[in-house]
Structure formats: C-alpha cells, structure tokens
Amino acid sequence: MPDTSVGRAQYDCIVIGGGHNGLVCATYLARAGRSVLVLEAASQVGGAAVTSEFAPGFRVSACAHLLHLMPGSIIRDLGLESRGLALAPGGTPTTAIAPDALPLPIDAADSSALARHSAADAAKFAPYLARLRRLAEALYPVLDGAPPRLGTDSWHDRLALLRIGWRIRRLGRADMRELLRIGGMCVQDLLDEHFETPLLKGALAFDAVLGTSAGPRSPGSVFPLLYRMAAEVQGSSLTQPLGGLGAVSDALARAALAAGAAIRTGSVVQRIVVHADRAAGVLLQSGEQISASSVISNADPKTTFLQLLGSEHLDTGFVRRIAHLRARGVTAKLHLALNARPRFTGLSDAALSGRLLLAPSLDYIERAYNHAKYREFSPAPIIEVTLPTVRDTSLAPSGGHVLSAVVQYAPYELAAGWDNERSRYANLIIDTLERCAPGLRASVQALELLTPPDIERQYRISGGHWHHAELSLDQFFIVRPVPGAAQYRTPLGGLYLCGAGSHPGGGVMGIAGRNAARALLREAA
C-alpha cells in the first residue's frame, strides 16, 4: 500500500537491522517480489550472531555461540548450506563440570557415568527426557506460528488456536496433565521430583535459566526449558558453525542478496519517518532519508518504539506496556585468547569440543542468582563454556585457542558500576574456570568481557538482553512483546516488528523474521 501522497516510495520494505531475523525477513519479502533494503548499523551484518576478532588473530562468536534453534525448514528454505554454512562435524556433547568433582557427561544415551553418582538417576534420566521431549513437541506449533489474536472472528486466529489445542490434546490425558502441571512450575521442584545428583540437576537447570533473569526456584522456570526443547524439536541438535555464528549470518545475507534484497551496512537509523499516520521510511544518522511503504524493525521493542518511533506516535497505554517490558540482561560473555589448549581435569577430548556447564548444583545457581537481585554479581557465577577452536582451527592463530564463556548472573545495572568492576569480574570468571582447568590463567593472552551494558552499546539492544525481552510466560506468545504488537504488526500502520522481542523470541532461530514477513504479506494481500 504505497503512500501516494509522498510520491512513489524508494522501496517497498525497509528492514531496520541486519540481524539474523532481519535477514530472514528480508529474504522472504524479496522472494515475494518486494523491493527490500536492509539497513545495518554495524560494519557487518548479523547483529548479535556475528564472528568478531577480539584479539589479533582470535575470532569468536560474539554473543550466541551455538546454533540449535533455527528450524531445519528455514535452513533448507533459504538454502543456507549451499550458501556457505557448514557445521562443525560431530555432535556437541554437554558435560557438567565442577571444581571439586569429576566431569559428568549429560548424555541420555549413555548413563554409565551418571550411574556412578546414582543408579536411580541413571534409570530415570532417559524417560524424563523422553517425556519432556513429548511435551515440548506438542508445544512446537505454539512456537512456530504467529500468535493468534483472542476474541476475533478471523478463521486464521481460530485455526491457529485449534492447531495448538489439538496438538496438546493429542498428548493423551497423562501427558497433557503433566504439561499443565509443570508449565508454570519452578525447575527446581521438577528436578527434585526426579533426581538426586546435584551435578545433574545443576546442568539440567542451567538450560532453564540460561539467558533469563530467573533462578531455579523462580516460578515459571520450567517454561524456558520446554521452550528450548520445543525449538530443538525442529532445529538442529547443538552445533557450532564453522567460522562461528557469523557464518550463519553471512549465509543469510547471501540468501537475502540472491533473493534481490539490498543490504547497506554502516547505516545507522535515527528515526522512523511517519507520514499521515503510517510508517513512510527512515531517517539515517547521516541525514539521508529513505522512503518505503513498510518499515520492519529488527531492533528490540523498546528501541523501536521509544527511540526510533517516539511515543508521540503511540498511545499512552501502549507506551506504558513497552516501558514495562522486562528487558534487562543478566548474561555476560567472556572471550579468552589462549596460547595453549586448556586442560580441564578429567575431561575427555571429545567433551572438550562440546559445551561445558559449570553449575554444580541447584543451590549454587540460586545463590548466583541471589546477588543479581540486589544488583551485584556472585563470587561463584554459572558458566557455559565452548572451545570452538578444538574443531575449527580457523578461529585462532596456529596453536592458539579460543574459550567462549556465557556467564550469569551479570546484572545490567550493577550497583558498583561496571566500569569499576569489569576487570574484577573477568578475573573472577577466570579464577572460577581455573579451578576446573588448572593452568588456564597462565595461557590467557587476551580477553574480552561483554557485560549487558556492553551488549547494549555494541549491538544496540536496549537493556543488553540478548532475547530482546525476558523470555517468560508473561512475555510469551500472544503477549510478546506486549498486547497490541504481538502479531508482528504495530499500532502504527506500515510498521512491523521482526526481532527476538517478537514471538517466539530469542536464540538464533529466525522464526520471528519469517513470521513477520508472512504477516506483512498477508496484510497487503
């Protein structure tokens, strides 16, 4: 629906932000015949899914460091594997590590190591996982589609609800009851019902609290676990793309270009231009103005509405909901450039190529979270470690290694101020790892710490939350990011959201980008 009053728009669609969702969205729009321009503020596309050089010769996936949530359908649809996306060979095993205990492989197929801790746990682990997977599978339609609106007459909305209801009903009585029972529960209660091994429970809870401002005892902490498992149903198993996560973005950019979209990097959008109560283009920081019939924002909701659009174009109630959106990151990233391969006590070589979880018990995680509530960081953080150079030597100079650590809980607003505390925090993380990998510290040549404020600055994500908005029941599905913008459309005609702040949310997934493109195309049809 071009705005005829301002003459012909230069593009049908402008996508603000060339993150993975923006690129996915642009590709689908371009394939539908739209002229599309992607504007990326940084010098390379990818948003928070980029590979960046943090020390001379050392490169690392800057934020996300594992690919596991992007549905196979999007990877196939966009032909990513023919466009240069290659996954590191072999799986990505998960191992629980602890300073004072032998590593424990978290592997349902081989529970022999677990059996040495608890025969009961070893017997229960596979059935536990199988059941959660069944429940997660039933939830997949929730994740995949655009959230329906409630109380409308639209067949589209009703059909979407029916599909979800049908999948859940098909679980059968026992599983459906279990899903309803555990859906809002805290993950500690769930794990305590099943297991007794602290190391196992800690590792399983890690995936429930990763990237969220919640501890194992926080209500609703089972939900992110189910969410993650549901996404994995159609996604790949945990993988590390060769060349880091940036390789995914590069392949996505090639797909977008092949579909006919234009991409401009180094183009910072300052404002969304509004004409006659419709989004009509963007104004760049350079002063250049580009017109378009539709604007699709890959930026987070707060940035999109409060900074790029401005509350004067929105109603107070909507602005209030956006302002109240919980979007303060608690996840930090530490990158270490190492001159030697680290040796984790008791860890096999195969395990070293996977991910290592340092979260030795539920209490340990909860204590780490306690500090964050009071705007402090814990002296004993929980950490997810990957060593991408074990399989992908291209990321470091010969003989060198890269350690990529996701660390929680690092509150966005640190009472003592991050400027004063960042080196202490980095050292604390290294010390914590050192206890599992003696000699690590001595091999550190350079490091980079990304706190939530750093992530906010570098990746232009308000609050530095890499899911753009806290992923929790109150900000999910038909209320993500907020009512009034949960179907990718926004209160302003011609403006759409396509980022992780929209359903289904964060992780390098691409579903929000694809669904936003669909919503736009359907509306215009």
Partner 1 sequence: MSGEAQPHYQQPLLHTPFHRRARALSQVDSFIPWSGYTTVDVFTFVEQEYFAIRNACSLYDLTPMVKYRIAGPDALRFLNRLMTRDIGKLRPSRVAYSVWCDDAGHLIDDGTVFRLGDSEYRLCTGERQLDWLIDSALGFDVEIDEVTAQTAALAVQGPTSCAVLRAFGLDGVERLKPFELGYFALPPALGSGRQLMISRTGFTGDLGYELWMRPEDAEDVWDGLMQAGRACTIRPIGSRALNMARIEAGFVLPNVDFVSSQHTLRVGTERSPIELGLDWLVDFNKGHFNGRRALLEERRRGPRRRLVGLDIEGNKPAHNALLYADQAGRHAIGSVSSATWSPTCKRNIALAMVDAPHMATGRQIWAEIYLNRELVWERRMARARVVERPFFAPERRRATPPADY
Q: Which residues bind partner 1 (CB under 8 A)?
A: 277, 306, 310-320, 323, 484, 491
Using alpha carbons, list the distances in angstroms from residue 81 to 77, 292, 321.
Answer: 10, 32, 40
**CA–CA gap between residue 294 and residue 1 (Å, rounded):** 8
Considering the complex, state which of residue 314 and residue 382 has its C-beta at the smaller distance from partner 1: 314
Closer by beta carbon to partner 1, 127 or else 310 = 310
Q: Which is nearer to partner 1, 20 or 278 (CB)?
A: 278
- Extended strands (E) in 62-167: 94-98, 101-105
Q: Which alpha helices (DSSP H) does 98-118 contain, by range?
A: 112-117
Name the minimum Å distance from CB 311 to partner 1.
Answer: 3
DSSP 3-state of 139: helix
95 vs 303, beta carbon nearer partner 1: 303
CA 76-81-84 angle, to 5 degrees, is 145
CB 469 within 8 Å of CB 300: yes
Residue whose token pair is 């990505």: 92
Q: How far apart are CA 250 and CA 46, in angstroms?
A: 7
Taking the complex as a whole, how short is the minimal distance between the CB of residue 494 and partner 1, in angstroms?
Answer: 13
Nearest approach, Cβ of residue 316 and partner 1 (Å) = 4
User: Considering the complex, what minimum distance in angstroms separates the CB of residue 460 from partner 1?
Assistant: 18
Tell me whether residue 169 or residue 320 sits nearer to partner 1 (CB atom).
Answer: 320
Give the closest residue to 114 by CA, choosing from 205, 197, 204.
197
Q: Please give the structure tokens belonging to residue 463.
A: 């609050």
Integer CA distances (angstroms), 355 to 38, 49, 287, 515, 517, in order: 34, 18, 45, 31, 34
Comparing CB distances to partner 1, the nearer of 257 and 306 is 306
User: Between residues 167 and 275, which has the closer beta carbon with respect to partner 1?
Assistant: 275
Q: Which of 96, 120, 119 is CA-nearest to residue 107?
A: 96
Q: How far is the CB of 495 from partner 1 (least distance, A)?
A: 12
177 CB-contact burial (10 Å; exposed 0-12 / middle 13-18 / buried 19+): exposed
Q: How far is the CB of 78 from partner 1 (least distance, A)?
A: 35
Smallest gap from residue 321 Cβ to partner 1 (A) = 9
